[in-house]
Chains A and B, each alone.
Chain A
Amino acid sequence: MTGVGAGAKDTTTISGRSHAALADDFLRAAVRFTTDRLKDRKRGATEELGRWEEWRERGRAIRSHTVANLDHYLRQFVANARAAGAAVHFAADAQEASAAVLGIVQEKQATLVAKSKSMVSEEIHINSRLEEHGVRVVETDLGEYIIQLAHETPSHIIIPAIHKTREQIKDLFTHDGGQDLGTDTKALVAFARSKLRETFLAADIGMTGCNFGIAESGSVVLFTNEGNADMVSALPKTHIVVMGMERVLPTFADLEVMANLLPRSATGQKVITYMSVITGPRRAREVSGPTELHIVILDNGRSSQLGDAEFQDVLNCIRCGACLNVCPVYRHVGGHAYGSVYPGPIGAVLTPLLLQGEEFADLPNASSLCGACYEACPVKIPLHDMLVALRRRAAQRKAKPGGVRVDRERVAWSGYATLFAKPGRYRLVTRVARIVQAPLARDGYIESTFGPLVGWTGSRHAPALAPEPFRDRFSRMKQDVKVARQNDGKAAESDPR
């Protein structure tokens, strides 16, 4: 997060995007308020449950075991889901997944798709793909609905419209057909309820993500507070589930652990309002519910983490967003600055891993490595270690042998090593530096928007070198001490006791 001026309007780097976010006072206040609140509520909810560390450890163990045996559990999930009547599709990447969804939508000649909140559907950019083919897609989670009306993307995993004011929301709803709406939450929610109810009833297809897939039964488990996933999965004739391939749990007993960890970590709720466990489409004896259930299982870079000792555990993630709420960087810049579907610490790790290449290679730099994300994570993903490992890999890519690129950092460190290796050189260098810094230093600090240290001094104070070097001061002090001792000795001699 270095550099000012030239980088300020650059939206291709996290540094550039952060500057835009930092200039938005409402955004910063809203993000801070919300994340503080979620964090405090989480603390309350975990203390009430008690033995939180044991729950976390159990959560980690279950997720790690599942991921380490994903070939087994995913196979079991798929076989059982099919036995219950679901159609299962496999997608290697986002392109294949959205093609699979589009294929189903076109086969059904659907014109309206009702969707409940799902990060994985953001990952495959399904909305724009369907809209290109003349299919209307309506987000039904209240927050997602708001940002869809605003033509934006979610800025928080759990609270997508964290950055919108109620005035803005009122304007968006009015534009969408609301009449005489105040800014009162109840009125706004009542409008969304009635408007979206029409959508639920009219939709040809319901589309959801998948919080957990249960291997022992082939069930898809959905968590929502609003009940929109229930509407979406109960009313339209066809239900499409898009799931990341790692979203599996072996048994319902394991689901109990996640049902305790996820809502507490996400919003500080003791329990999610609606947990719906869906196993296949409607049975022959049932008269409601979808007649077809399609499950699209997505890889999209996930399998590349398997077998990689440094990163396999990133697949433990249960998408609670707790790491966002405690991250000092996220709290300042919000979600959009990350420029990726997944923001915050998990996004800074997951995005460059899933989407190899240089576009998001700078995200791991957007961290102070304080480790708060690891402390908050309900399944103990060592995000801070992963951030360091990603930085190391990025540095290794840059420093390939034979590369012509001159790496300023390497030059700086080798210069440092040379100059600081001998006391004489060290003294000479600090003496010169003391003279050079004189015009820049004020009250013991350097603040400068130019010069070789601008990466640091452009946005922070750097401590100036002390006017008198320690070595000089120490030899003077040694002399003082010696004199004082001699004086003490004399004083003792003259004391008769």
Chain B
Amino acid sequence: MNEQAFFQNIARRLGREFPADAAASPAGVGLPAEEPERAFVGAPDFWTARQWGHRERLENFTLELGRLGGSARVYATLAALHGGLETLLQELSAPLVCGWGGEFIADMQLQNVFDSFAVVPWDDEPDMAEPFTRADVGVTGCDFAIADTGTVVLLNESGQGRLVSLLPTVHIVVLRASRIRTSMGEVWREIALRGLDPVHLPSTVIFISGPSRSSDIENDLTIGVHGPAAVHALIWDDVGLP
């Protein structure tokens, strides 16, 4: 259907005029000039006004991820976290491990661990996706985590390939405790600060809460339908306040 006519019909039904030439350009409708008035935006005040401390956020995130069937471990130092990651990878004894590349490896100082387990990093080479379709374990960081729901938030961009957290059977997330926010709304406010235009907002922002699940067969809950069957969070408590 013609774009102009589609919008005109909507506006007319709502008792308004749609600007006659709004969709006339080959690029289609442009942005509308002014915003409609709104009494409020987003969640109720009692929700957004909550102020959780560092310890409360960390404990709640750990608890909630556990309730979803995932696991979370907290380490006081980065070295201890590396030890934890090595132990976990040994236990899993996976033939093929892949991971985020780029800044993530440097930021969490993972080069040694990645080397000793021959982890295939996401290095943004064309046609590099193939090993990722066979990987058993994917190691990623996360840009944010959410204490309310045990969620990790991954902004997929260069170095941070989306397939790393999606295709393997086990997903390991390595994160700093200082990345944990109280609610989803807080995360969106920070993402919006960087800009919601296509240059600043990546093509995919994914919110992952525990392992993949389904109850489609006689209501019987099962884990690991399409996405990972296990989600482990290894948290470096980089704030360390009591």
Whether A71 contacts B10 in the complex (CB less than 8 A), given A196-B226, A251-B41, A256-B184, comes out as yes
A128 interface residue (CB < 8 Å to B): no
Contacts of A140 in B (CB 8 A): 226
Q: Do B213 and A271 touch (CB < 8 A)? A: no
B202 interface residue (CB < 8 Å to A): yes
Interface segment among B31-39, B75-83, B137-145, B234-242: the answer is B31-39
A473 interface residue (CB < 8 Å to B): no
Q: Do B212 and A253 touch (CB < 8 A)? A: no
A interface list, Cβ under 8 A from B:
30, 33-34, 37, 51, 54-55, 58, 61, 65, 68-72, 74-76, 78-80, 82-85, 88, 90-92, 96, 140-143, 146, 159-161, 164-166, 169, 185-186, 188-189, 192-193, 196-197, 200-201, 216-217, 219, 225-228, 230-231, 233-235, 245, 250-257, 259-260, 267, 270-283, 285-289, 297, 299, 303-304, 306-307
List B1-26 residues whose CB lies under 8 Å from chain A: 1-3, 6-7, 9-11, 13-16, 18, 22
* Contacting residue for B44 out of A55, A72, A91, A250, CB 8 A: A55
Q: Do B30 and A68 touch (CB < 8 A)? A: no
10 contacts between A and B (CB under 8 A): A61-B39, A74-B7, A142-B217, A188-B217, A189-B222, A227-B228, A255-B184, A274-B207, A299-B6, A307-B13
Q: Do B2 and A90 touch (CB < 8 A)? A: yes
Q: Do B22 and A281 touch (CB < 8 A)? A: no
Give the nearest-CB partner of B165 in chain A: A230
Tell me whether chain B's interface is mostly helix, strand or loop, or mixed.
loop
B93 interface residue (CB < 8 Å to A): no
- Beyond contacts A72-B35, A233-B204, A271-B209: 12 other A-B pairs, Cβ-Cβ < 8 A, are A58-B40, A65-B38, A78-B29, A91-B1, A159-B216, A166-B218, A193-B225, A230-B162, A230-B206, A274-B209, A306-B14, A307-B13
| Minimum distance in angstroms from A196 CB to a CB of chain B | 7
Given the complex of chains A and B, what is the CA–CA distance between A149 and B211 in angstroms? 26
Residues of B in contact (CB 8 Å), total 86
Determine which residue in A75, A91, A161, A164 has the highest number of CB atoms from chain B within 10 A of its CB, and name it. Answer: A75
Q: Do B217 and A169 touch (CB < 8 A)? A: yes
Whether A259 contacts B184 in the complex (CB less than 8 A), given A169-B217, A189-B214, A286-B157, comes out as yes
Contacts of B188 in A (CB 8 A): 252-253, 255-256
Q: Do A250 and B38 touch (CB < 8 A)? A: yes
Given the complex of chains A and B, what is the CA–CA distance between A278 and B28 in angstroms? 21
Whether A256 contacts B183 in the complex (CB less than 8 A), given A83-B197, A189-B224, A306-B13, comes out as yes
| Minimum distance in angstroms from B16 CB to a CB of chain A | 6
Q: Do B29 and A165 touch (CB < 8 A)? A: no
Q: Do B125 and A289 touch (CB < 8 A)? A: no
Q: Do A303 and B13 touch (CB < 8 A)? A: yes
Q: Do A273 and B213 touch (CB < 8 A)? A: yes
Given the complex of chains A and B, what is the CA–CA distance between A304 and B14 in angstroms? 10
Contacts of A228 in B (CB 8 A): 225-226
Q: Do B225 and A253 touch (CB < 8 A)? A: no
Q: Do A280 and B31 touch (CB < 8 A)? A: no
B203 interface residue (CB < 8 Å to A): yes
Contacts of A65 in B (CB 8 A): 36, 38
Interface segment among B51-59, B84-92, B107-115, B126-134: the answer is B126-134
B66 interface residue (CB < 8 Å to A): no
* Contacting residue for B6 out of A61, A90, A159, A226, CB 8 A: A90
